[in-house]
A and B are shown apart, each in its own frame.
Chain A
Amino acid sequence: MESTSQAVEPAHSKLFMRPTWTTGFGSWLTTVDHKKIGILYMLSSFTFMGAASVEAFIMRLQLMRPGQQLVSPDVFNQLFTMHGVTMVFLAIMPLGIGFANYFVPLMIGARDLAFPRLNAFGYWVYALGGLMIYSSFFLGGAPDVGWVAYAPLTSLSNNPGFGVDFYVFGLFLSGVGTTVTAMNLIVTIVNMRAPGMTFMRMPVFPWLMLITSFMIIFAFPPLTIAFLELIVDRTFGSLFFVPAAGALPILWQHLFWIFGHPEVYIIIMPAFGMISEMIPTFSRKPLFGYPVMILASILIAFMGFAVWTHHMFTTGLGPVVNTAFSLTSFIIGIPTGVKIFNWLGTLWGGSIRFTVPLLYSLAFIVTFTLGGITGIMVAMPTFDAQVHDTYFVVAHFHYVMGGGALLTFLGALYYWFPKMTGRLLDERVGKIAWGFIVVGFHTIFFPQHIAGMMGMPRRIQTYPDGIGLEIWNFASSFGTFIMGVGMILVLGSVIYGLRRGPRAGNDPWDARTLEWATTSPPPYYNFKTQPVVNSLDAFWAWKHPESLNVDPIDPATAGKKYDAHGIHIPGQSWYPLLASAALIVGSYGLIYDNWILAIVSGFAFIFCIFGWAFEGVGGHHAQPELEGEAV
């Protein structure tokens, strides 16, 4: 599939040559191709998700019966902290970004992201940052303060180990990666849409990734400030979060949740986008109320920044603050409800094909509705006083983040796997796995609502016998086995499908968006001819122009004039990887107060940035016409 390159542009300097591997290990380390980086994101996220699932499984075994001593309280604290940190920062959020990396350029008819090397840097700094957090398990103990890491539990006197330092540096770095990727997506979506694709002709998934990216840019700075203050406390003895010096530890919670609440929408928004692609495809109908969906998403994103203290109803902020944030939280329920109705409206009157992705979408609607209802409940400070920090809340956010985002991502994996690999996943095994996963999920998390209301706080490694918690915990633990079987089936199905799955062809689902217009998998230049768009659901409009009342387009010729100079393919680079590695090594230096290592890594990072700047434009112009490659 790799083409002969044409007109390689000269490098500026011999010192900073850009590598040119097209296959093999080196090509993955130096790649700037958004599709390869997307796959790297997905592989890393699913691997981290596996680790987080093992952590969850051990916790559920420990909690299966009252008074068990399978793991010590210290280990248990590390397990739930790492489970939360991993799922939020290293698995679900990057999974959304991974799908966006692969599919946003394809769906808007672009050839790559705007800043390919920055994209690679974003990936490497996330992946290496995640590995760095995990290395803490082998270096004296992982963080054990919960993923929210409330002060003053994190102060040096309360937490003298290195776990909290790993938490801060690892998440700080992966936050950098997320932020640069968000900027990259914004620039790409704003500037690089196919000719004719106005904003209101853009598919919903890129739209929601645009909104998500803006949320990322506004949400991460408060977290970075909190991290900075905490690490200065721990390393240099400042007193931001030290109550003995008069600090108000509640500051941490404000900073964390000003980030943290938008973060949960950052997690769920890509899932909304995927659902809004899958349901129309398998109903053979356009999304019902497309502009309303976009507007609702923008409202949710905007309001997401105005609800953070609903995580703090029990911190004594007083009735006026609690009322205000309770009402803003309720208001978010309105656009969310409208979204649910619009998805149902899309199904209504359609010609529904029950593929695995659609089944996941239906499971999403049910699960997310339940999660939304409990969301309204916990937004009532009066009721939240009972269930805050209990398993009710654990159940609620697993319904929205696990049942919402995770189930959708599994559906999206089934939906887009044929595009990424050229092969279909087995539908029958997929449906069986779906059954296990959905049943397992509800068996795990539904009883947790009741356990919480019957008095089970979260983050406890054991609970007493005889206060009525036994059966709910047993059911919940039992569910992990059911869901585990489903996940193993999915994994096996993916491994089998990679090698043996039936060929998919370009458009196995009769889909509606541009990624299905190119080959499966797409060539490195994405589209043989620049796609041209004259309608929402552009690819559908090419196939069935009469159904949408638009003029027919000949995709093979319409976009030719935009490719007159060939397709510029960016050159590969070592510097994103090396710069990320320098940051990671420097972080180890800072964690262990090894200033020499930190300073040397700092200079190495600066060197990498110079290399990045001066290695030359590189790349080549692909001319698929001349190469006779099929699209």
Chain B
Amino acid sequence: MPIRWLWRALPVTVLMFLLAGCSLDGEQSMFSPVGPVAQEQLDLFMWTWYLSIPVMLIVGGVMAFVIVRYRRRAGDDSIPGQTHGNMLIEIIWTTVPVIIVILVAVPTVRSIFNLQTFIEAGGEDVQVNVTGYQWWWKFEYPEYGFTTANELHVPVGTRFVLDLDSADVLHAFWAPRLGGKVDLIPNQDNQLWLQANEEGVFHGQCAELCLGAHAYMRFRVVVESQEEFEAWVESFQQPTIEVVSSDPLASQGRTLFASKGCIGCHSVGNYAEGVSYGQPNFPNLTNFGQRHTVGAGLLEANLENVAAWIMDPQAIKPGNYMPTLWQEDDPNREEEATAIAAYLLSLGSDEVVAGGADGAMAAKTVGGN
């Protein structure tokens, strides 16, 4: 007997050690909610968790009791009473799950209609059109008329409404600390609304298999004060294209950005119809210097990481569509990649004086270099 009890106690013991050693808080943990949606989802979980404890105790307790009480003793060959059932008991233990189900169902239904009802963005709400691509995110702000990629900026304490669409296969938008996910499905208008009551940079990730670099299809939600958000929006109304002449590396990078062909896919400045510069179905790099990450939420956006990413994107994010621009033995590889990185990081960052007035015009200038 004792050995069996040991076996049964072991997983519990292991678990307790594990639970003692680690916190459930995390960058992507639903246990660290920062908004009302995530909070309501967590509350509902906690409610069912508390309800499930007595269920587990009853089932486990009854089992432990029968194991001890009704085990067959050595030499005992008696036949126990051949009970076939008991209607009263059956009725009682049908009622118990019914009650539990009702206790779960009522708050569930209430929360469904709280959180999943389709709403029109209006008043203070910020509207963002999200499009999923293999393997990055496009965020379009229709009210303000610009597009960015992989980092969603929203003001704190304000509801934002995401209209979700996909350009290729299924994706799912999931920023756990703000709230649960909704799928991005081609030809289907899905919607998700969220709100963050805390400022910060929060992690998000694609949660629906999209092959290739699916595991690396991440993003950030940047929650900032109303003033910071407005300044950020402002910076996209007049994006920087030019770089300060005092930074020769960035100037060289600007030239390389065109000559190496980056410009064939990536817009800097607002993409506009009819401008043969950049494409809407690749990440828009306008004001890249304000980004926290590079490679769709993968690496911190510093000179070293951005250069490494440009130099060999496949090494960092296997399967993505970004080509490698240099031969492995090209002596200029590192230098040129660093220059492009410096150019990109200068865009829209505080150290840089705001440049060209009109994105499209400036784009042509850059394209001409």
- Interface residues of chain A, those whose CB is within 8 Å of chain B, are 72-74, 77, 144-146, 150, 152-153, 158-159, 243, 246-250, 283-286, 288-292, 314-316, 318-319, 322-323, 326-327, 330-331, 333-334, 336-338, 340-342, 344-345, 347-354, 359, 362, 365-366, 369-370, 373, 376-377, 380-390, 431, 435, 438-439, 442-443, 446-447, 450, 453-457, 459-464, 466-469, 471-472, 475, 536, 544, 547-548
Contact call A389/B170, Cβ cutoff below 8 A: no
Quick one: CB contact mask for B83-117 with A, threshold 8 Å, 1 for yes?
11110011001101110110011001101110111
Besides the known contacts A345-B89, A450-B24, 14 further A-B residue pairs in the complex with CB atoms under 8 A apart: A152-B186, A315-B190, A341-B93, A348-B62, A349-B80, A377-B45, A380-B111, A385-B182, A386-B45, A447-B18, A455-B205, A456-B28, A467-B27, A468-B23
Contact call B207/A457, Cβ cutoff below 8 A: yes
B96 to chain A, nearest CB (A): 7
Contact call B116/A284, Cβ cutoff below 8 A: no
Contact of A153 among B21, B52, B210 (CB under 8 A): B210
A213 to chain B, nearest CB (A): 26
Given contact pairs A285-B82, A314-B172, A468-B25, A381 touches B18 in the complex (Cβ within 8 A):
no
What separation, in Å, do the CA atoms of A250 and B170 have in the docked complex?
10
Contact of B48 among A74, A286, A353, A380 (CB under 8 A): A380
Contact call A334/B24, Cβ cutoff below 8 A: no
Closest residue of chain A to B110 (Cβ to Cβ) is A382
A201 to chain B, nearest CB (A): 12
Contact call A454/B31, Cβ cutoff below 8 A: yes
Contact of B116 among A153, A249, A319, A438 (CB under 8 A): A319
Q: Which among B211-219, B241-249, B277-285, B339-347 touches the partner chain?
A: B211-219
A158 to chain B, nearest CB (A): 6
- Interface residues of chain B, those whose CB is within 8 Å of chain A, are 3-4, 7, 10-11, 14-15, 18, 21-31, 38, 40-42, 44-45, 48, 52, 55-56, 59-60, 62-63, 66-67, 70-72, 76, 78-86, 89-90, 93-94, 96-98, 100-101, 104-105, 108-109, 111-113, 115-118, 164, 168-170, 172, 174, 176, 179-183, 185-191, 203, 205-215, 218, 298, 318-319
Contact call B211/A144, Cβ cutoff below 8 A: yes
B212 to chain A, nearest CB (A): 6
What separation, in Å, do the CA atoms of A383 and B107 have in the docked complex?
11
Query: Which of B23, B24, B52, B117 has the most A CB atoms < 10 Å from its CB?
Result: B52
Question: Given the complex, which residues of B lie within 8 Å of A381, measured CB to CB?
Answer: 108, 112, 116
What separation, in Å, do the CA atoms of A318 and B116 have in the docked complex?
7
What separation, in Å, do the CA atoms of A457 and B63 have in the docked complex?
35
Question: Given the complex, which residues of B lie within 8 Å of A144, measured CB to CB?
Answer: 211
Query: Which of A283, A289, A322, A333 has the most B CB atoms < 10 Å from its CB?
Result: A289
Contact call B63/A344, Cβ cutoff below 8 A: yes
What separation, in Å, do the CA atoms of A150 and B186 have in the docked complex?
12
What separation, in Å, do the CA atoms of A459 and B319 have in the docked complex?
15
Contact call B26/A454, Cβ cutoff below 8 A: yes
Question: Given the complex, which residues of B lie within 8 Å of A469, measured CB to CB?
Answer: 26
Question: Given the complex, which residues of B lie within 8 Å of A341, measured CB to CB?
Answer: 93, 96
Closest residue of chain A to B22 (Cβ to Cβ) is A471
What separation, in Å, do the CA atoms of A318 and B115 have in the docked complex?
10
Closest residue of chain A to B170 (Cβ to Cβ) is A150
Contact call A446/B11, Cβ cutoff below 8 A: yes
What separation, in Å, do the CA atoms of A497 and B83 have in the docked complex?
35
Contact of A323 among B41, B63, B109, B187 (CB under 8 A): B109
What separation, in Å, do the CA atoms of A280 and B176 have in the docked complex?
46
Contact of A389 among B48, B79, B207 (CB under 8 A): B207
Closest residue of chain B to A348 (Cβ to Cβ) is B66
Closest residue of chain B to A150 (Cβ to Cβ) is B170
Q: Which 6 A-B pairs have the closest CB atoms?
A: A385-B180, A455-B28, A468-B26, A243-B186, A337-B97, A460-B215
A-B contact pairs, 28 of them (CB 8 A): A72-B318, A74-B212, A77-B209, A152-B170, A153-B211, A159-B211, A243-B187, A314-B180, A316-B191, A327-B109, A334-B97, A337-B100, A340-B59, A345-B85, A352-B66, A354-B71, A369-B59, A376-B104, A383-B44, A384-B180, A386-B38, A435-B4, A447-B18, A455-B30, A457-B207, A460-B215, A468-B28, A548-B82
Contact of B27 among A243, A340, A455 (CB under 8 A): A455
Contact call A382/B111, Cβ cutoff below 8 A: yes
Question: Given the complex, which residues of B lie within 8 Å of A536, measured CB to CB?
Answer: 84
Question: Given the complex, which residues of A lie within 8 Å of B3, measured CB to CB?
Answer: 435
Question: Given the complex, which residues of A lie within 8 Å of B82, measured CB to CB?
Answer: 285-286, 547-548
Closest residue of chain B to A431 (Cβ to Cβ) is B4
